[in-house]
Structure 1
Amino acid sequence: MGTPIYFEASAGGGIPIIQSLQNSLICNHINSIVGIINGTSNYILSAMGEHGADYADALAQAQKLGFAEEDPSLDVNGWDAAHKALILAMLAYGTTISPDKIYVRGIENITSRDFEFAKKLGYTIKLLVVIRYHEGQEDALELRVQPCFVHDWHILASVNGVFNAISVNGDIVGETLFYGRGAGKNPTASAVISDIITAMRESRYPEYHTGFNPYAKACGIMHINDTVTPYYVRFQVVDQPGVIAEIARILATFGIGISATSSLPSHIDEGGAPWNDLVFILHSCPWGQLQKALEEITRISCVAAEPASCA
């Protein structure tokens, strides 16, 4: 107890995000933290989006270059990003958060087909951390990690390879962006040496050491079912009349609006049946309502399997 801990390299590699939350932004109430904080997943998604690689080939290339571990599970299943998100959230809001309170989905089920649709609709796909404070709600903190559609014009869409980018929005400073290499020996060394120097300085004046936000009040964690955001959903369906209308009807039953639809040419399976990938871009809706709608849609006989989705 009472011993300072320094951990700048624990989130964002060489990006000084820890010191910024502890010191530079201390007078701000943090409205949101959104960003890319796993370089391995970002490298894989960049390879899929820019070069048309499939997931397996992109992962193999990342491992060959040393960007992915031999067992890449924690990176690709989203939990490495989730652990970093927990650190950032606890620093920003001064409250202890249990890992089971964060919603986590990785990139393992993202396919080149999803990138075809994303490009056609003016998006790319990124694994994003979303931390958002909702004032006035009992469970006020939204905390999730999941693949997301990002508009081509958005600054995060241009963050490629092993680079990280973290957007922090404060009530006084407004939006700030931290960008840099999220991994590698040199960025990590930069962060570690910074910690050593800071520790040396603060050992002389220990009263100036900053830890978690001392002004924050305890806040609950919003259940993922109550979070609201637009969604991309891809269905594999039998190419026959009425499919779009039936899916749209079910979505409407659960109060979910459609902003766009798209499809690619049908392909014939081994039995000679025509199958099609059908995409819906949905208006903002609660995750829980979307899950109920998808459960009902998958019961339609012409829908092949569990749909793919991104926020």
Structure 2
Amino acid sequence: MEMKPLTTSVIGSYAWPSWFVWAVEAIRRGEFGSRDVEETLNDAVDWALREQEEAGVDIPTDGEMRRLGFFTAGFYGRLEGVRELAPERRLGVPGHDQRERYEAVEPLVAPEGLGIVAEFTYACQRTQRLLKVTCPGPFTLAGRILPGKVYHDRVDVAYALADIINAELRAVVQAGAEFIQLDEPSMAVHGGDSKVFLDLLTRTLDGIHVRKGLHLCFGNFMGRPVARRHYKPIFPSILEANVDELALEFANREMAEVEIAREIAIAGKTLAAGVVDVKNYYIETPEDIAERIRTLLKFIPPERLVIVPDCGFSQTARWAAKAKLQAMVAGAHLVRRQLGFV
């Protein structure tokens, strides 16, 4: 698949407009019928695609609007063999310890799949642009599932999920997807045995012969990271992963570790570099974006550089997400013109 120099894209999720926030709350209260829900989710996807296209994004996503959150509605709710646990904390400032938790009570299965095929099929009807299809990776999904008496540990849970995810990805490729991205923040957050991570990725992506991306961030629940933000612990081993593109966050870390871009280029991979800080309500100017891109170009050629936000926009207010996305595309175009890529 050909990628033009300084292609622009997004990581996955998009910001919710106020009407959708209101509708989702009503859906959760049981106030919508099934057709109401379908209509609302379709409209949300249409809106997310339109806003990305109006900004000029080359490779959009469906905004992950149907998932109603990164995990619960999109994935855990489709698994059988788990029971929901109470969050560790309910009161006080929002934090990762207030999130959903589950325990395995039987071997995990997803008899009706993970819903990604239907997401992709609908979105394809609503845009003429190449779509990126996103899916959480097995190690990240396993982080909210205690092994119980069924599995030995988190890695054991992850291997079970790898097979479920692989089946879903094979189905979405069969449906016509050309670009798959696994979201694996937990691999960057927790570090660990690189051989295990690589084996998990290989198992998850087995038989997937389209463009493959791997998103590695440091968490974005409530706009907050959840780890020391350093990629060095997973480098250079992660370069052995059978993916074409690594999506990494740089903007919110003031472009720290930007020299990693050189290693990625030498390995023959593309870098999707985060140049928009989704955790900050400072709205970058196009020149801010252009300056960050020029910094990256000291280490990687433009044909191996994709321009993206640090992470998804699900934790960002819609007005800010829209302005940041427009600035990102404008900054990329500015550098393209300067380099003669028009």
TM range (shorter): under 0.3
| Structure (1/2) with the larger strand percentage | 1
Q: TM-score scaled to structure 2, two decimals?
A: 0.23
- Structure number with greater Rg is 1
Greater helix share, 1 or 2? 2
Higher relative contact order, structure no. (Cα contacts within 8 Å, ≥ 6 residues apart):
1
TM-score normalised to structure 1 length: 0.25
